[in-house]
Amino acid sequence: MHIYRNTVDGTLTEPANHYEIFNPANMQSLGFAPESDEQEVDRAVQSAVDAQKSWAKRSDQERRDIVQKVAHILEENSEYLAELITREQGKPLSGLGSRFEMQACVGWTQVPASLELNPEVVYEDDERKDTLHRVPLGVVAAIAPWNWPLMIAIWQIIPAIRMGNTVVLKPSEYTPIATLEMIRLINQVLPAGVLNTVTGDGNIGSKLTHHPDISKIMFTGSEATGRRIIEASARNLSPITLELGGNDAAIVMPGTNIKAIAMDLFWGAFLNAGQTCACIKRLYVHDTDYEEVMSELSSIAGQMKIGDGMDESVLIGPLQNSMQFEKVKELISDAQKNGCDVREFGNVPDKGYFLPLTLVGDIKDGQRLVDEEQFGPVLPIIQYSELSDAIASANGLEAGLGASLWAHNTADANELAPRLEAGTVWINQHGAIHPMVPFGGNKASGYGVEFGIEGLKAVTQGRTISIKK
């Protein structure tokens, strides 16, 4: 059975330990992932430190050209990597699944390579001229989750190296192998030491984020871990980009054509079987629209094939791991116990962490399935009578990643949008991220943004050069 390897200083390393990875759709073994020890973390950080000065000295154009070569490698290997993602993470090859994840990896590599971030004259008069330059921070620690393992790693890595930093990436212990393969391939066009990996659980993540040579932490994951990352960052005063969990509300405004939006609502909630940070996790609908929303979503859910994502006709895969599987089951059974209207759709295979697509009506704010991030294929649908109450409900939780308004008249929605407490408010779409558009959370969903020019600035520090004339 194959043992996958970390890349440190441009070379595949011999793992100190390894552990087996299983396909969540059928429990078959996929091979072994390496498990780094503390010495490997030190070696990976040292290699990133050694490579950083010369990487930063290269011209911006040189780095942009190399990043475009990375995009080319991702494109050339996307089918290989997509199959690995499907086997390891569970999302299907087809539809909005692993091929879609690979397309996103390519796009989110090409765009940072195409952007200009030039020095900016911030003040000038007869006596002085002040120019703000953007310089790299040094070594970036990137800590990734298991839901979109390659795409989120790319979001963290690419802007960082584009701006002259070097990186040590730790993928999630649940989904390391597709990421390790991607990094091995990318290293073909990067100078040794620019992009390194370590693997293991939170202890290795903690060792990495506490390392004295780390200058910036990019973290995507849960709120609980986010708080530990903040503590770790205090040691080096490292700036952090924190992309944490969400519990996004979508509000369907009265008068909306339900049939026309039903498919977008469905995928807004069930993308990657709901294992997406900015999925619709609470759907608020007006009393008068409730029956129609239930019926349209039920009809779509009933058509979806659930199963092993290697089958091209499957559009919904399993949950990625048993921890998440048990958590989602518990939230559904809590709703059942509380007398909610729980409707299940789809034939679920016997093996694997599969759950049916589940719509839950007759449910209110304050119940666990509404108030806790479910991160699975289940959607609570909550009725409202007054729009102002729906907005208050949407804002009533600590999470503030995304939110959406669905309306016949986009001008009405646009007027309400600033009242929603979320990093992004979408209108007639949900989760519609774009590599040019800054994305990040409000409130307990984190701070800092990724993507676009703002995302590039976030992996630099300002250096102002002030000249007396």
Structural tokens at position 393: 């409900």
Strands of 46-187 (E only): list them. 120-124, 128-136, 139-143, 166-170
β partners of residue 242: 219, 447
Exactly one of 114, 131, 222, 428 binds ligand NAD (CB under 6 A); that residue is 222
Task: Establish if 173 lies at the interface with ligand NAD (CB under 6 A).
Answer: yes
The closest residue (CB) to ligand NAD is: 205
Which value, to the nearest 10 degrees, does the dihedral of the CA atoms of residues 48, 82, 244, 136 take?
Answer: 30
What letter represents residue 405's amino acid?
A: L
Give me the residues paired with residue 124 across strands: 129
**Closest CB to ligand NAD among 294 and 432?**
432
Q: How far is CA 68 from CA 75, 117, 161, in A?
A: 11, 16, 12
List the structure tokens of 465.
């050069």
Q: Is 176 in the site for ligand NAD (CB under 6 A)?
A: no
What are the E-state strand segments in 171-329? 195-197, 216-220, 240-243, 248-252, 280-286
Which residues from 363-422 bind ligand NAD, rule CB under 6 A?
Answer: 373, 375, 401
Is-catalytic flag, 326?
Answer: no
CB nearer to ligand NAD: pick between 215 and 256:
215
Q: Does 233 bind ligand NAD (CB under 6 A)?
A: no
Q: Among residues 277, 297, 328, 340, which is the contact residue for ligand NAD, using CB under 6 A?
A: 277
Give 146 or 345: the residue with its C-beta nearer to ligand NAD.
Answer: 146
Write down the least CB distance from residue 60 to ligand NAD, Å.
27
Nearer to ligand NAD, 332 or 401 (CB): 401
Q: Where are the alpha helices (DSSP H) in 137-199?
A: 149-162, 177-186
Applying CB under 6 A, among 77, 199, 225, 460 the residue interacting with ligand NAD is 225
User: Quick check: 308 binds ligand NAD (CB under 6 A)?
Assistant: no
Instruction: Decide: is 352 part of the binding site for ligand NAD (CB under 6 A).
Output: no
Pairing status of strand 7-8 against strand 11-12: antiparallel
Provide, rounded to whole angstroms, the least separation between the CB of residue 152 and ligand NAD: 6
Out of 40, 88, 173, 243, which one is annotated catalytic?
A: 243
Instruction: Pick between residue 68 and residue 429 the one whose CB is nearest to ligand NAD.
Output: 429
Let me know: does 311 contact 277? Beta carbons within 8 Å: no
12 three-state secondary structure: strand
* In the complex, least distance from residue 326 CB atom to ligand NAD, rounded to whole angstroms: 13
Question: Is 144 among the residues that bind ligand NAD (CB under 6 A)?
Answer: yes
Pick from 312, 310, 314, 272: nearest CA to 96: 272
- Is there binding between residue 33 and ligand NAD (CB under 6 A)? no
Given the residues 40, 181, 277, 340, the one annotated as active site? 277
Using the minimum distance from each CB to ligand NAD, give the nearer residue, 166 or 225.
225
- Do the strands 446-447 and 402-406 form a parallel or antiparallel pair, or are they unpaired? unpaired
User: Does the protein bind ligand NAD through residue 268 (CB under 6 A)?
Assistant: no
- Closest to 256 (Cα-Cα) out of 416, 402, 393, 374: 416
Examine the residue annotation and report whether 277 is marked as an active-site residue of this protein.
yes
- Residue 331 lies near ligand NAD (rule: CB under 6 A): no
Compute the radius of gyration of the chain from its Cα atoms.
23
Q: CA-to-CA distance for 46 and 228, rounded, in angstroms? A: 23
> Can you give the binding site for ligand NAD, defined by CB under 6 A?
143-147, 152, 170, 172-173, 201-202, 205-206, 209, 220-222, 225, 228-229, 243-246, 277, 373, 375, 401, 441
Catalytic residue ranges: 243, 277
